[in-house]
Each structure stands twice: as C-alpha cells, then as structure tokens.
Amino acid sequence: MKFMFNRTIVLLLILVTAFISIKCNTDNSLDKEYPVTFIDSNALTALLDLTGAEKVSGKQMTYTDANTQEHILVKINIINPSTIDFETNRKINSDSTQNYLFIKSVVESILESIGYNVFIDSLVVQFTNKKSFLFLLGGKYFTLSQNENYLHHLRVIRFKEHITWQKTLDSMLQLNELEKVTLIADSLSQISRFSALGVEYKIYVLMLKLTDGKDKSPDFTKFKSLVMQELEKRPLSATLYYYLACNSFVEEHYSLSAEQLDITLRQLPNHPKANYLRGCIYMLSNDTSMAKKHFLQVQKNDSSLSNDAIKNLLKSKLILN
C-alpha cells in the first residue's frame, strides 16, 4: 500500500509538472495573440444559455496564406457546457440534424457577440469540461472549426441590418451629407450590436473633415483617441490602421504611415485608398518601382481614384511598356 501510495504521489507530481510546463510554453507564445472583446452582451448571453456554459472566452490572431495575405483566426473556449455530451462530442440527446442546427446557432451567436466589424476568416470553437478528472491537463474537450466561406455566408444572413445601414451611410457619404452620417452614427454607437459600426463611421467622417484642407492646423486629438479606443477592442482591424495611416500622412510622419498602411495591406491587399497612399509615400522616397506597383493596384480596384493614380504614374515617368 505504501508503494502504491508513493507511486500515485509521483504520478500526480509528474502530471502537475507537465501541466505547468504546457501552461508556461503556451503563455510564452501569446505575444501575437489578443483577447476577444464581446461587444454584444445579448448575443453573449444567448450563447451561454444555448450551451449552458459557465464562461466563454476567446483569443484572436492572424495567420498568413500561401499568397502572404494575412487572415484573422478566432479561438473561442466554451467552458463547462452542460448541453454537451463529451462521450459523443455533440449536443445531449440530439440526432445529426439537431446537432448541426445547434452548432450553427453556436457559431451565429459567437459572430454576433463579437460584432459585424470583426471579419473572421477562420473560427475554432473548443468545448472544455474542466470538471473532468483530467482537469490537471486542462480538462476534457473537443474542438470544431469553421472556414471562411461558411463564416461569410452566416455573416450575410445574421448581419442584414448592419449591411443595410452600411449601404445607407455610404450613399450619404457619396452625397457629402457628413452631418447626417454623423447623427446616424452617433445613434448607432449607443446600441451595443451596432456600436462598432457607428463609431467607425464617426471616425471616418472626422477623418474626412480633418483632411479636407479647410483647416490649416487640424487637431487630430479626438480622432486618434477614438481610433485607439476601438483598437483596444479590435486590435487586428485593418481599417482602423488605415485611418491612423491617414493621420500620420497628414502630419508628415511618412515612415509611421507606411508601417500602418503595410498592416492594412497585409490583410486587404486590394484596398484602393491604402494602395494609393502607399504609392504616394514610395514616390516621396523616390522608389518609383514600388510606387508603380501600388498605383496599378489602385487602377484595378477603384475607378474614382484611377485618374489620380495615372497622374502619379506619369509624374514618375512610370508608363507601362
């Protein structure tokens, strides 16, 4: 009995040591990961009710594909879900159809809780049972993954109102109705599920006003404060980095603007305005080859900017052969 007891103690010590080692190694690799901010509390509550979970947490990070384009990966951990059978890795007492609909509802609730303005390309959901006897090694769990096409399909379905508001606001911007856009954006920013959309349009209108040339000494303090607040919630947002790049460019911090534009273009390589601005910065540094690359990208993706791009190509004597 004494031998068996000592062997059990040794085994437990090995398990604890292994767990600590795994935990430390994981923590040391989180420098490029950020916590997920759940902006829609109602959707998060629905997710908790749906799964019967004690807690939901998440992390977001980027990954690069074969074409060197960055994408956003989100990992969600649903802890101690009471509606999951960890022997069959599916909803308790469900057939295949019921389980499919359950998983679909889980994914939809996750997308809604994170919000419309976070463009997720890959989602990994982990259901974790920390009440399992394997708690020392993180608990019993299983994962499921959803790809870009499925996620984008669900976005179109679940964010119909957001898309409608976006089209309405974009139409107003084309008519230069900036005050109307600001009023609507202010109202949207007060509603949790529309808050990010509203704030982003407020930032955009503020940027337009600050960079229209009417104010000889524009004050970007409020603008930068709004952008930085949003970056805390959405640290991988390519659009927010583009706004910062515009600010840096106007303030003639061209190196910083270039860095911020590169972040945007790694995720959105076809972004016309980011390409245009990046081309201008390359022109300022006399790198005509790289300037040509970005201006040609503008021509492919934005007819409204193509004339300006052509003018800059001509100025740099970068005529296509």
The confidence band for 128, taking pLDDT boundaries of 50, 70 and 90, is: very high
pLDDT of residue 171: 96
The confidence band for 299, taking pLDDT boundaries of 50, 70 and 90, is: confident
Q: What percent of the chain has pLDDT over 70?
A: 82
Q: Return d(Cα 94, Cα 79) in angstroms, integer.
A: 20
Residue 191 confidence (pLDDT) above 60: yes
Q: Which superfamily does CATH assign the domain made up of 161-315 to?
A: Tetratricopeptide repeat domain (1.25.40.10)
Average pLDDT, integer, range 118-135: 83
Residue 237 confidence (pLDDT) above 60: yes
pLDDT of residue 137: 54
Residue 212 confidence (pLDDT) above 70: yes
Q: Considering the entire predicted model, what is its pTM? A: 0.81
pLDDT of residue 47: 96
Domain ranges of the chain: 31-158, 161-315
pLDDT of residue 217: 83
Higher pLDDT, 20 or 136: 136
pLDDT of residue 28: 34
The confidence band for 249, taking pLDDT boundaries of 50, 70 and 90, is: very high
Tens digit of each residue's pLDDT (9 = 90 or more) over 57-91: 999 999 998 888 999 999 999 999 999 998 899 99
The confidence band for 162, taking pLDDT boundaries of 50, 70 and 90, is: very high
pLDDT of residue 321: 37
Tens digit of each residue's pLDDT (9 = 90 or more) over 8-65: 444 444 434 443 443 443 333 334 789 999 999 999 999 999 999 999 999 999 999 8
pLDDT of residue 94: 93
pLDDT of residue 32: 73
pLDDT of residue 133: 52
